[in-house]
Amino acid sequence: MSSTAELQELAGTVRAVLAKHGDRAALRRAIDGEAGYDPALWTLLCEQVGVAALAVPEEYGGIGAGLVEALTVVEELGRTLHTPPMLGSAVLGVQALLLAGDTEACERLLPDVAEGGRTLAVCWASASGWDEPGVRVADGKLNGTAHYVLDGDTADTLIVVTADGMYEIDAAAPELTRTTAPVMDPTRRLTEITFTEAPARALGGDSAAITQLREIAWAAIAAEQIGAADACLQMTVEYSKSRVQFGRPIGSFQALKHRMADMYVLVESARSAAYAVIADLARGAADPLDIAAARIHCSHTFSAIVGETVQMHGGIAITWEHDAHLFFKRAHGDAQLFGQPARPLARPA
């Protein structure tokens, strides 16, 4: 795990690129664009910062920094709501390949992923969620539909999670169809991919590997949620300084000060929970209950923070021109993405 100073430098570099090239206008263009994200911004992040190579080991052409560094980038992207193939490809796709344990596939695919020239998409959920795969395999051929696939409409290679392990298939194979799914959150495009007798290459990966992939997904979403929640908090504080009512800034009213203080406490507690499980995952010593608790707490925090953001901005927050409603929709989408842990989480005495 890198030092805090190195992580802060990485976060600052990513934030500077996003501030210069990923402003509100760029986000709105990305929403309406063909890819659903800003390809030029993704190219800049790959070429100038090397974000796609962070979690790829050096022997496969990557930087070999690790999961902590990759999720630092995910957190910064959460602040802006941009959704390039970082989470779906450079984090989940890369981790799926590594967990599958297929050295030949890693040597063949990961160098291009590290350079940003190839994107991966993990096909997993059924219509009811991630508790069981939507695709089954028989005689090396895939059948069924994977739902809620990140980067599914633009990926070059698909990693398909089945009850019998993970499989690799070219995204351009004629035996599959890709359909953009209707979603609440316009900033994140999800895809349904249907396989019909599609021949695929077995990668491996047992149930333990798939469980670990799910835990990494929860940690990644937690990182994104704290970035977005912190952005909402900062947005609200700045607005409270400039919005004048009864002849004074609304941020000077004690009731609103208390509410923003509570928002700050929520964000910082969620940050602590997320950082702790991410560090444990990187060391291979994560407690499943801690990961589940962080997943639940970060989801609750983001939803609560964005609710306060909308209320404290008033009517402007629900107009298309303001970003508050986009954060509101992201909060609801993130709370469901990759499923939620079963409750309760109490440990035995």
**CA–CA distance from 59 to each of 86, 91, 103, 196, 213 (Å)?**
20, 17, 10, 35, 21
Burial of 208 (0-12, 13-18, 19+ CB in 10 A): exposed
Query: pLDDT tens-digit profile of 162-174?
Result: 999 999 999 999 9
Looking at the predicted structure, is the pLDDT value of residue 56 above 60?
A: yes
pTM: 0.93
3-42 in b/e form (b: 16+ CB < 10 A) is eeeebeebbebbbebbeebbeeebbbebbeeeebbbeebb
Packing angle between helix 207-242 and helix 324-336, nearest 10 degrees?
160
Query: pLDDT tens-digit profile of 125-162?
Result: 999 999 999 999 999 999 999 999 999 999 999 999 99
Using pLDDT thresholds of 50, 70 and 90, give the confidence band for residue 345: low
C-alpha to C-alpha distance for 75 and 54, rounded to whole angstroms: 14
Determine how many CB atoms are found less than 10 A away from the CB of residue 180.
Answer: 12
φ/ψ of 191, rounded to 5, equals: -130, 145
Q: In one letter, which amino acid is 274?
A: A
pLDDT at 347: 56
Q: Tell which residue, 203, 186, 218, has the closest CA to residue 297.
A: 218
DSSP state of 10: H
Beta pairing class for 190-199 and 141-150: antiparallel
Residue labelled with tokens 């670990």: 212
Packing angle between helix 67-80 and helix 4-21, nearest 10 degrees?
30
Using pLDDT thresholds of 50, 70 and 90, give the confidence band for residue 2: very low
pLDDT at 239: 81
Angle at 63 between CA 57 and CA 66, to 5 degrees: 65
Tokens of 294: 């962080």
> CB-based contacts of 36: which residues, under 8 Å, 6+ apart?
30, 83, 153, 154, 188, 189
